[in-house]
Structure 1
């Protein structure tokens, strides 16, 4: 007899969604998390892949990727097949759908010069529209939908880890990010602090091409009389919140510092804040999202 307690049931995750929405990245992260991952799998063979209930079989979680390119891709048939498999008491079957808005998908395809699988001889937007209509029943039916429209690859990786890791990290992971508001707010940020009240080094001769990692930029920001008191208040607030988040079982806390372009004030604040957290016994990960972006007056705005 197969033990059907939750801990002993094999996890099956079906990963699908719009082409270009991040399926490959999601499967790679799942593989890093210990899942066995298979891409472009014919769902009609799902029963053969999983096999009959077997108490001696491996209980490694299994992630299966499929999309409109997969042979025999008929959404209604897929849903019926999965419903039958999900009735088994030895399995936990979940469906993840990766969505993305059409304009962002078109931008991604144009940027990479790849052909959309449903628009080989037609404009990209036509293929995206056709695929969205084909996949709409799966999107409505999926257990988990992640919209990657505003996600970087790193954002998606964090989202997959938070949702599908077998267990939470033993210690809560703290991520400190710098970013530019002109290029969008990080979608996974738990706490966002706007540093645009500080004097902007972009408009100081000799500092424009430097970044918040350079000493001269840091000295300029420190000379702003508003920096020290506000930074101290932010530090005290976050140090008060972090133990509360951990007590609630939160696995990841994403703290973001923003300025206009994401190259000066936010970078320096993020670096200083990560050091402050380190001094308090935390081991934060630091991400400078827009550090490599080009300095531009059009983004920073005129003084």
Structure 2
């Protein structure tokens, strides 16, 4: 008699700035149905709504962290039990990072900490978050320390730690960035998109990013963009396969523009799709100015 494994639910939690967004993107690339910043009290309702009927996703990943009401986080154990009663196999994955590394990451990205709205200095906000999340860390099925991991290494660690399978070819990361904040230090290939038409100058497109359909459609119509993409794709199609036999486990391809929102994001996403169409299985995107 064949035993059918229960559907999987991964609860992604941990310190802000520890790589939870990268983890959720990784799970999505592996076929998980993902959502971030779900109110914790809605967890059983969310699972129930997706877990019934034909074609329901068998792999879910949900981000729940300090952005929730703190009193709700204390009820996570009972909500995990409720999810288990619905037939799912819930796993809590906690991402942690040393305080000194978090301070540097926030300084580098200039992002606001989720608890900064209460008037705390960054170090104090990190300390409070660690205190609030301590019970969740003690409950975690997996604790992943990202202090010494870059984006590639974190992605691989997530896949191997959770036994999600991984082929032997290098993982590809297509990253976007703004030149005014510097070139990513770990990039293997860097392409400058600042010579292409800039959607920033269209008031309708300025608030959007290269992820949005309106921006994609605008750039798709530009002959210079099509020519640029074809030339870069041809270069990468020729050279990336050579790295399959190399000892390296990952390759970063970075696209830069002035603000890191439109052209570079569009090309990173489009090139990632192109790589998947050409047989690369472990492909991810990271938008430094957006993520």
Same fold flag (TM > 0.5): yes
Question: Which residue is 1:11 aligned to?
Answer: 8
**Cα 1:154–1:174, aligned 2, differ >3 Å: closer, same or farther?**
closer
**Cα 1:131–1:77, aligned 2, differ >3 Å: closer, same or farther?**
same
Question: Which residue is 1:28 aligned to?
Answer: 25
Question: Which residue is 1:111 aligned to?
Answer: 108
Unaligned runs of 5+ in 1: 176-273, 290-303
Q: Is the 8 A contact 2:115 2:125 kept in 1?
A: yes
Question: Which residue is 1:163 aligned to?
Answer: 161
**Cα 1:287–1:78, aligned 2, differ >3 Å: closer, same or farther?**
closer
Residue 75 in structure 1 maps to residue 91 in structure 2? no
Question: Which residue is 1:98 aligned to?
Answer: 95
- In our comparison, the structure showing a higher alpha carbon Rg is 1
Distance 2:17 2:249 in 1: 27
Question: Which residue is 1:144 aligned to?
Answer: 142
- CA deviation profile, 1:84-128 (whole Å, cap 9, x unmatched): 32244x211111000011111111111111221113332210000
- CA deviation profile, 1:241-276 (whole Å, cap 9, x unmatched): xxxxxxxxxxxxxxxxxxxxxxxxxxxxxxxxx98x
Shift of 1:160: 1.6
**Cα 1:31–1:104, aligned 2, differ >3 Å: closer, same or farther?**
same
Distance 1:86 1:16 in 2: 18
- CA deviation profile, 1:127-153 (whole Å, cap 9, x unmatched): 000000110010011101100111111
Question: Which residue is 1:45 aligned to?
Answer: 42
Shift of 1:83: 2.3
Question: Which residue is 1:85 aligned to?
Answer: 83
Shift of 1:287: 4.6
Shift of 1:32: 0.6
Distance 1:65 1:56 in 2: 25
Superposition RMSD on alpha carbons, in Å? 3.3
Distance 1:39 1:283 in 2: 36
Q: Secondary structure at the match of 2:16?
A: coil
Distance 1:81 1:29 in 2: 25
Unaligned runs of 5+ in 2: 172-240, 253-291
Q: Secondary structure at the match of 1:74?
A: helix
**Cα 1:5–1:45, aligned 2, differ >3 Å: closer, same or farther?**
farther
Q: Secondary structure at the match of 1:79?
A: helix
Shift of 1:56: 3.2
Shift of 1:62: 0.5
Distance 1:74 1:4 in 2: 39
Number of residue-to-residue matches in the alignment: 184
Q: Is the 8 A contact 2:93 2:141 kept in 1?
A: yes
Q: Secondary structure at the match of 1:95?
A: strand
TM-score by length of 2: 0.55
Shift of 1:70: 2.2
